[in-house]
Chains A and B, each alone.
Chain A
Amino acid sequence: GENVEQHPSTLSVQEGDSAVIKCTYSDSASNYFPWYKQELGKRPQLIIDIRSNVGEKKDQRIAVTLNKTAKHFSLHITETQPEDSAVYFCAASGSNYQLIWGAGTKLIIKP
């Protein structure tokens, strides 16, 4: 069935360093890949997304890359700051207009 695997489950980086979170999807028909950030007790919020006709997209310190052949996509955060600490979820578009969600990555920014 449709599946998205997300790694790592926890990532701890020094403030100012870069963080990379990776996701692999199973459905070759997926064409939309969003990333959401969820702070403790809050709602998930979209931070960046990419479509299958684009290989890379950047928004200030955040970038997403997509490799359709390998069916994986990654979130890159540069110059990490304390406010980047949160849980990050990747997703891929599935059948019936659903999103197939990864299990989440807890990002910890060490001062």
Chain B
Amino acid sequence: DGGITQSPKYLFRKEGQNVTLSCEQNLNHDAMYWYRQDPGQGLRLIYYSQIVNDFQKGDIAEGYSVSREKKESFPLTVTSAQKNPTAFYLCASKAGPSTDTQYFGPGTRLTVL
């Protein structure tokens, strides 16, 4: 877990603004994931990437975008098209296709003002 960092810890956004959440890992993991968690709810998959320069939509990709230009970085952009973005955002990574365990970063709490 200590090898995955997310920044910022808290983020405030005005309506109509795009914001980018950072996720970095130094574990040399191939796969990275973004989840959204609403208060008192479970984890919903936004996007995931199994390898550099490749990513797939999860269950709730609308209003979000990602890039995977470097193995250690998987930033998430919350666009103005996401109408209800206030939530806790968690990034996770796992070593590769032959492994299953996902390790989570500390999360970013996004609030729309």
A residues near B, CB below 8 A? 32, 34, 42-46, 49, 89, 93, 96-99, 101-104
Contact = CB atoms under 8 A, between A and B. Distances in A.
Contact of A34 (B41, B97, B100, B106): B100
Contact of B103 (A46, A49, A103, A104): A46
A44 B50 contact: no
B81 interface: no
A99 B102 contact: yes
Contact of B1 (A45, A93, A103): A45
Interface of B: 1, 31, 33, 41-43, 45, 48, 50, 56, 58, 90, 94, 97, 100-107
Given A42-B107, A43-B1, A44-B43, 16 more contacts: A34-B102, A43-B90, A43-B104, A43-B106, A44-B90, A44-B104, A45-B1, A49-B100, A93-B100, A96-B48, A97-B50, A97-B97, A98-B45, A98-B58, A99-B102, A101-B42
28 contacts: A32-B100, A34-B100, A34-B102, A43-B90, A43-B104, A43-B105, A43-B106, A43-B107, A44-B43, A44-B90, A45-B1, A46-B101, A46-B102, A46-B103, A49-B100, A93-B100, A97-B31, A97-B48, A97-B50, A97-B94, A98-B33, A98-B45, A98-B48, A98-B58, A99-B100, A101-B43, A103-B41, A104-B41
Identify the 8 closest CB pairs spanning chains A and B, nearest first: A43-B104, A32-B100, A103-B42, A101-B43, A104-B42, A44-B104, A43-B106, A101-B42
Contacts of A103: 41-42
Contacts, number: 46
A37 to B, nearest CB: 11
